[in-house]
Structure 1
Amino acid sequence: MPIRIPDALPATSILEGENIFVMTEHRAMHQDIRPLRVLLLNLMPTKIVTETQIMRKLSNTPLQIEVELLRIASHQSKNVSADHLETFYRTFDEVKDYRYDGMIITGAPVETLDFETVDYWPELVKIMDWSLTNVHSVFHVCWGAQAALYHHYGVPKHNLDEKCFGVFENRLIKPSSPLVRGFNDVSMMPHSRHSETRYEDIVANQKLEVISYSDECGVSIAKSIDSKHFFVFGHPEYDRDTLKLEYDRDVERGLDIKVPVHYYPNDDPTKAPIVSWRAEGQLIYTNWLNYYVYQTTPYDLEAL
């Protein structure tokens, strides 16, 4: 999938170096088709890393996608330059009058906090409410999934006694779902979180269904019955070294952190991590775009 992103965005040169088809704004203007418009609300502190990881996943079907980056205006990011945010990101006030085929809401390192105590919660609620009328389908990741389930459906999250940290085996609860078309019966997904949304709380709501489950770390994928909302509690977009960098950072800080499980050979952090989630990690984004965005979104977005 050629993704249309600003020519000067750091992700552009990284993805081109991986032989991923990144369409320049100039070339996209000369194609007589309507690209899918996808809004990425990036709540992660490592903005450049996260935007690159997700754009990599949006790049493997024959569709053209125009990706716009959205940030929270009520929270000051400390891990990326103000110049990067001003150049490449928009605020809600700048996009609220537009409509989008799809939207992705990332996770955030605030999962132990009550939702209402997160400093940007009121702004996030405003964006989530706006998405009900201005976005065709929304894909939520990790804490973003927990936040959306809580806000839209009243499903609580629960803090864990021990961090869910590693790469976990998942089995399909609903293998007929187009979202997991092409998945193996058992697949792997990275997780890194201190809280969970429980299976029984999700299925108690008749508007929701669980698609995939891990015996070790609980629900991995769920969605709304109407296919408006998708909830992924792990990180299928993670790179090979993402968990390693997080583990090394916490060790350096002197934190009590266990080695991420099922990630290093024999759980030995002196060895290079093995990627066991790449195929399904790609498929979940591709399937969402194909079956739940491209094939169902109106050609005229004003018809949303």
Structure 2
Amino acid sequence: MPVKVIKNLPAIEELRADNIFVMDSERAKKQNIRLLNLLVVNLMPRKLVTETQILRLLSNTPLQINVDFLYTATHEVKNTQQSHLDSFYKSFSQVKANYYDGLIVTGAPVEQLEFEAVDYWAEFLEIMNWSKSHVYSTLHICWGAQAGLYARYGVEKENLAQKLCGIFESSVENPKNPLFRGFDDYFYCPQSRYTCSDEQAITKVADLEVLSKSQEAGLSILAKKNLREVYLFGHLEYDRDTLAWEYQRDKASGLQPELPKHYFPEDDDRKPPKMNWASAASLFFSNWLNYAVYQGTPYVAERLSKHLEEDYDFNENGEEL
């Protein structure tokens, strides 16, 4: 949340130069406060685990938030009871008349499929198209980031030589960006993916800014300059044991996975994994919620359709929906 001070206080400019959010008393008087509405498109197989991870990070601000969970009706869910979906989730047809301040699109274990081969791809495109006029800011995670870039800008994904899995150091490329207020120069982020987005194609999209990179893992975080779209290629939401669970699952499936890098002490998978990304995860989600969503979204949610810019198209096989 911002620091509120008397207008024209000499310290204001110095604080702003240090990327501290300062709100003068005149602006504070005009600011309306209301419950924020978020929608989470949960594409992960262990939905209850992902729900807990996301909600834990969203809870670390004083903002009041209402969260709806959405499942893709065109996909048969195998790892979650239908009764859970019926009780706690909504379909797109149930929410498409609503307006949301923020949208989170999770990762999904479908990276090795072509986008168009994913059984809910048409539904995903429909959600992306709808978000242009019904959502203020969208946070895309892992496959959700790759899919969002492909849907909106035609950025292809590329297969990696082997699965990228582990905890990797990332640099803050633009410390002045509001998403990185309070960050150190470097932070750690879990990665778990078989593919990456085409970096050369991304650099050709003028309105996208690379905010974080990793020497080992490549692009880490990028965003549209107005923060309407944020792309996180890793999994800051992961718990301490998530990569360990995935590693053991892959071993049990006969995939012969490599040990996650920089994760188990002394590379011994019998030892409890270390966690060194929790503070960065909490701060990143809080910054997104505050600066990308709360500080920009209109007080009357229904005004979003007039408030949002329509400055990008996306396609399936090169054609607009």
Superposed pair shares fold, TM > 0.5: yes
Counterpart for residue 47 of structure 1? 47
1:73 is aligned to 73
- Is the counterpart of residue 242 in structure 1 residue 235 in structure 2? no
Alignment match, 1:288 = 288
Q: 1:239-271 deviations in whole A, cap 9, x for unaligned?
A: 000000011111122212000000111222111
Q: Deviations over 1:165-184 (max 9, x none)?
A: 00001011112111111111
1:105-254 counterparts in 2 under 5 A? 105-254=105-254
- Post-superposition shift, 1:199? 2.8
**Structure 2, unaligned stretches of length 5 or more?**
2-31, 305-321
- Bigger CA radius of gyration: 2
Q: Which amino acid aligns with 1:77?
A: V
Contact 1:199 1:210 in 2 (8 A): no
Q: Work out the CA distance in 1 between the residues paired with 2:132 and 2:282.
A: 26
Conserved 8 A contact 2:111-2:193: yes
Name the SS of the counterpart of 2:231 in structure 1: strand
- C-alpha distance in 2 between matches for 1:197 and 1:177: 22
Q: Tell me what 1:261 maps to.
A: 261
- After the TM superposition, which of the residue ranges 218-227 and 137-146 deviates more from structure 2? 218-227
Stretches of 4+ aligned residues off by more than 6 angstroms: none
Correspondence for 2:25 = none
Counterpart of 1:265, as a letter, is: P
Letter in 1 for 2:155: V
The separation in 1 between residues aligned to 2:164 and 2:203, in whole angstroms, is 21
- Higher relative contact order, chain-length normalized (CA < 8 Å, sep 6+): 2
Give the aligned CA root-mean-square deviation in angstroms: 1.3
Q: 8 Å contact 1:198–1:219 — kept in the other structure?
A: no
Task: Read off the aligned partner of 1:255 and give its amino acid letter.
Answer: L
Alpha-carbon contact 1:42-1:69 (below 8 Å) kept: yes
Residue 33 of structure 1 deviates from its aligned partner by: 6.1
Distance 1:199 1:76 in 2: 33
Q: Is the CA contact (8 Å cut-off) linking 2:33 and 2:299 kept in structure 1?
A: no
Residue aligning to 1:4? none
| Matched length | 274
Residue of structure 1 in register with 2:94 after alignment: 94
Q: Distance in 1 between matches of 2:130 and 2:46?
A: 25
Report the equivalent of 1:64.
64
The one-letter amino acid of 2:44's match is M
Aligned counterparts of 2:277 and 2:60: Cα–Cα separation in 1: 16
1:104 aligns with 2:108: no
Instruction: Measure, in 2, the Cα distance between the counterparts of 1:113 and 1:218.
Output: 21
TM-score normalized with structure 2 length: 0.84
- What is the alpha-carbon distance in structure 1 between the residues aligned to residue 295 and residue 205 of structure 2? 27
- Counterparts of 1:162 and 1:210, CA distance in 2: 24
